[in-house]
Structure 1
C-alpha cells in the first residue's frame, strides 16, 4: 500500500487496534507517531516497530484534553514538518453496562469525552494543519455500535454514532481541499475492551460468536489493514465512507 514516507499519528496506539495499526503503517514504510495516554505502552509499540526496522516515536496525549492534542499536533509538525495522516483510534468503554435509566453520569461523561470530543479535537487541529499544507487524510475508528443499537451501552453507542456522523460531515466539507476523511466500523474484535467485557460476563463469549456469521472475533491486524488502505494513495477517490469489518454480523 502506498504510504511510504508519510507522517502518521495513531492515537491509542499502545495496544489493540491502535498498536496493530501503527505497526502496519511502519511495515509499509511510513513514519509513525505512536500516541497514547499510557507512555509505557506507547514505548513498547515503538520498540516493537523499531525491532522490525520501522520508524516511530512516542508523543503521549490524553485526547480528551484540548491542550494535549494541540501539543501532539505541534510536536509532530515541529519534528517532521508535516502531518499526512491521523488515525483517531483512542477510545474507552463504560465501567458499568447499564440500561439508560440506571446509566451513571460518570460513564456518560468519561466515554463521550474520549470517544466523541477527543475525535473532534483531533480532527479540528489536524485539519488546520492539513489545510496549511494542502493535503491530508483522516481515518476515524468508529464501531458496529455506531451503526446498530448496543444494549446497556448508551455512551459508547452514542459516541460511535457521533464519530460516523462527524466523519461524513467533515468529509463533505473538505472534499475539494485534497483531504479525505473515512471511518472503519469494527465488529467484535479481540481487544482490551472485549476482554474487559468477557471478564465480567464470560457467558457472553458463546452468545457473541453465535451472532457472527464467521463464528469468530476479528483480529486487530485485520482492522489495521483496512485503516492503512484507506489512508493510502490506493484509495484516492474514497471519502466520507464507513467500512464495516464485522465478519458479517450486521447482516
Structure 2
C-alpha cells in the first residue's frame, strides 16, 4: 500500500465523490478542493464532471473526473484501486449519488422497475462503495466513509416511498458500519439533508417523472420547505465531518422534526398522512386503473 500516515482534514487528502458533477456532490467537491483536498468526481454525467474538474484545476485545486455507474461493483472497485495507486491513499469516500422516481406521486404509481432502479442506485451504490473502499481503508489504517442519506431516512415522507426505503437503509448501514469501523480506524458518517436547492428537487437527471406530478410541481412542493443553497450545506457538512459527527442533519432546524418523530411517532404519522392527503388534492396524479395509468410515465434525463 505504500507509506501512509493518518486521515487528513482536508489538506492533501484524497476524496472520491459519487454524483460529483452536480448538486450536493458538486458543492462538496468545490469546498473540499478549496480546503486542499484532491477530489475525484465520479459521475455518469461525464461532460459536467470534466467541466467541473477543469474549473477546480483552473482555480489552483486538484481534481479529476471519472465516469462511474455506482451500480457497477467492478467499476467502483477499479476506480478505488486506480485512485489509491495514483495518489497513494484514500482519505474519504462520499457515497453521494442518488435518484428518485415520481416524487410526490406515491407508491401506487411505481412500476417494479422503478423500485429496483432506486434501490440499485441509492442503496446498492452505497453498498458497492463500501465494499470497494472499506477494506482499503482498514489496510491503510485510516479513512472516512460519508454516506448521503436524507431527512427521509429519519422520518416519514409520504409520496417518496421508494426513496425513503433506501435512505432509511443507508442510515442503518451507516450506524452499524460506524460501530464496526471505529475499532479498525475507519470513520463513518451519514448526511441527512433537509431540502437543498439542487436539480434533485425537480427529479434530477436520472429520475422518472410520473404523469400528474411534473418536475415543476415537485420543485414547487419542495420550495415551500425553504431549501438552502448546496454551497451552504457543503460547508457546514464538511465542518461536521471534520468533527467526526455520526449523523449530520442540515439545516439544523430539521433536527426538530427528527426529535419530534422519535418522541411522538404516532403524532408525526398523523401529520404525514394529512400532508399526503393535501398533496393528493392539489395534484393531478392519475389513479391506477384510470385512463392514465403509471405506464404513462416518462423517463427524465
| TM-score > 0.5, shorter chain as reference | yes
Structure 2 residue matching 1:59: 3-state secondary structure: strand
- Equivalent of 2:16 in 9, 15, 19: 9
- Equivalent of 1:170 in 146, 171, 177: 177
* Cα distance in 2 between the residues matched to 1:76 and 1:231: 21
Name the stretch that deviates more: 199-208 or 34-43. Answer: 199-208
Cα offset, 1:230, TM superposition: 3.9
Cα offset, 1:249, TM superposition: 4.0
Cα offset, 1:207, TM superposition: 4.9
Indicate whether 1:71 and 2:78 are aligned. Answer: yes
The RMSD of aligned alpha carbons is 2.2
**Aligned counterpart, 1:161:** 168
- Alignment of structure 1 residues 105-116 onto 2, 5 Å: 105-116=112-123
**How many equivalent residue pairs?**
242
**Aligned counterpart, 1:243:** 248
**Aligned counterpart, 1:200:** 214
- Alignment of structure 1 residues 102-141 onto 2, 5 Å: 102-141=109-148
- Equivalent of 1:90 in 66, 90, 97: 97
- Alignment of structure 1 residues 36-75 onto 2, 5 Å: 36-75=43-82
Larger radius of gyration: 2
* Cα distance in 2 between the residues matched to 1:101 and 1:203: 18
* Cα distance in 2 between the residues matched to 1:206 and 1:195: 9
Name the stretch that deviates more: 198-207 or 71-80. Answer: 198-207
Q: Which runs of 5+ in 2 are unaligned?
A: 1-7, 257-301
* 4+ long deviations beyond 3 Å: 95-98, 196-199, 201-210
Structure 1 residue matching 2:32: 3-state secondary structure: helix
Cα offset, 1:228, TM superposition: 2.3
| Kept in 2: contact 1:189–1:219 (CA 8 A) | yes
Q: Which runs of 5+ in 1 are unaligned?
A: none
Structure 1 residue matching 2:121: 3-state secondary structure: helix
- Alignment of structure 1 residues 174-189 onto 2, 5 Å: 174-189=181-196
* Cα distance in 2 between the residues matched to 1:38 and 1:204: 22
**Aligned counterpart, 1:225:** 235
Question: TM-score, normalized by length of structure 1?
Answer: 0.89
